[in-house]
């Protein structure tokens, strides 16, 4: 008896979940033409169009949506079984796709990535720089990092908090001399500031559980921590960033702490991982290495 060939079904499910033939081909390490041909072959076999294709987007038809809902959980279970078998040797292999904000990728991920790749010859890693929220499933990422001082929004994805980053508010001595140190958090509303791209407010905690916040109208917004540092050193505004990043500039007197009695809310770093019963070995090994590397930074 001839068994069914499920490859075309699996390729369709991958394309549908990632929303792209290109991303599906990259994840499956197959030519894009082969993936497209597989979906077309399945459509012909079933007698229904499963995907509506255009130059700008890929959309599931009603038949395609129904089929995806039926087969995606089955293939997810098979992937879990395969990952579980592969994990027995605890040797990560294949391509690990990571998305991270610029600052976190630059300051925290680099040494972990290099160390793991040196340790595991079969592991390849792609790190994409992102400036906003990304759905790791639809974008095809294995891990998506988000850095925020705000509460974590609800999500159907598996969210794993990694650690928190203590921050401080800093300014150049010349700016402090010209404007005078602010007496309160509210006084910062009249100060020039340098902020991250998506920051709209700074929140602080004081003694006895006191809370205070200030709305931002920055002179400069950028996700680039290095550029924010340059602008702060030039006296263009006060800025808030990880204490460790400004450490040398503070020690040599180029920057001073502003409002030292008020502690800015820390940044929280989360790792989003597509929901799976078992975590692939490559993902698990990376997360374990990252947590070990960041352990001195007050894991949550």
Cβ count within 10 A of residue 252: 8
What confidence score (pLDDT) does residue 194 get? 96
Secondary structure of residue 250 in the 3-state scheme: helix
Q: Does pLDDT of 8 surpass 80?
A: yes
Lowest-pLDDT range of 12-16, 57-61, 113-117, 149-153:
149-153
Greater model confidence, 235 or 100: 235
Whether residue 264 has pLDDT greater than 90: yes
Beta-carbon neighbour count of residue 298 at 10 Å? 11
The winner for highest mean pLDDT among 1-15, 70-84, 278-292 is 278-292
What distance in Å separates the CA atoms of residue 171 and residue 267, rounded to the nearest whole number?
Answer: 19
> Which is more confidently placed, 228 or 4?
228
- 3-state SS, residue 20: coil
Q: What is the pLDDT of residues 83-100, one digit of tens each?
A: 666 555 567 878 888 888
pLDDT band at 255; cut points 50, 70, 90: very high
Domains and CATH numbers, the chain: 7-87 (1.10.10.10), 94-165+268-297 (3.40.190.10), 167-265 (3.40.190.290)
What is the rounded average pLDDT of the residues 223-227? Answer: 84
Local confidence band at 192 (pLDDT 50, 70, 90 cut-offs): very high
| pLDDT grade for 196, boundaries at 50, 70 and 90 | confident
pLDDT surpassing 80 at residue 102: no
The radius of gyration of the chain from alpha carbons, rounded to an integer in Å, stands at 24
Give the CB-side neighbour count of residue 111, counting CA atoms within 13 A: 7
Residues 122-179: tens digit of each pLDDT: 889 988 887 665 555 556 688 888 877 666 655 555 667 677 778 899 999 999 999 9
Residue 300: band (very low, low, confident or very high) from pLDDT cuts 50, 70, 90: very low
Instruction: Tell me what pLDDT residue 1 has.
Output: 43
| Cα 258 to Cα 175: distance, rounded to the nearest angstrom | 11
pLDDT digits (tens, 9 = 90+) for 22-39: 888 888 888 999 999 999
pLDDT score at 169: 95
What pLDDT is recorded for position 233?
95
Q: Are 112 and 100 spatial neighbours (Cβ–Cβ below 8 Å)?
A: no
Residue 48 pLDDT more than 50? yes
Stated pTM of the model: 0.62
More confident residue, 3 or 125: 125
């Amino acid at each position: 008896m001839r068994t069914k060939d499920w490859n075309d079904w699996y390729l369709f499910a991958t394309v549908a979940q990632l929303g792209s033939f290109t991303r599906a081909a990259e994840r499956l390490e197959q030519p894009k033409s082969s993936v497209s041909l597989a979906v077309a072959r399945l459509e012909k076999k079933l007698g229904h169009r499963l995907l509506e294709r255009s130059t700008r987007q890929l959309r599931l038809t009603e038949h395609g949506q129904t089929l995806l809902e039926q087969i995606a959980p089955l293939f997810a279970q098979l992937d879990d079984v395969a990952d579980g078998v592969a994990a027995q040797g605890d040797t990560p292999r294949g391509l690990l796709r990571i998305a991270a904000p610029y600052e976190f990728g630059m300051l925290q991920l680099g040494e972990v990535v290099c160390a793991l790749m040196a340790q595991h010859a079969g592991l390849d890693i792609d790190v994409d720089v992102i400036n906003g929220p990304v759905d790791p499933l639809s974008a095809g990422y294995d891990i998506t990092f988000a850095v925020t001082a705000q509460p974590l929004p609800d999500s159907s994805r598996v969210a794993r908090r990694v650690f928190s980053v203590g921050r401080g508010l800093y300014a150049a001595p010349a700016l402090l001399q010209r404007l005078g140190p602010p007496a309160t958090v509210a006084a910062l509303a009249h100060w020039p500031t340098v902020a991250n791209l998506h920051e709209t407010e700074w929140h602080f905690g004081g003694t006895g559980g006191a809370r205070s916040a200030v709305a931002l109208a920055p002179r400069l917004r950028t996700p680039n921590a290095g550029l924010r540092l340059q602008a702060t050193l030039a006296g263009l505004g006060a800025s808030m960033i990880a204490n460790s990043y400004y450490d040398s500039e503070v020690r040599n007197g180029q920057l001073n702490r502003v409002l030292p009695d008020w502690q800015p809310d820390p940044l929280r770093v989360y790792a989003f991982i597509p929901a799976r019963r078992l975590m692939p070995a490559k993902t698990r090994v990376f997360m374990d290495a990252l947590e070990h590397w960041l352990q001195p930074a007050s894991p949550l």
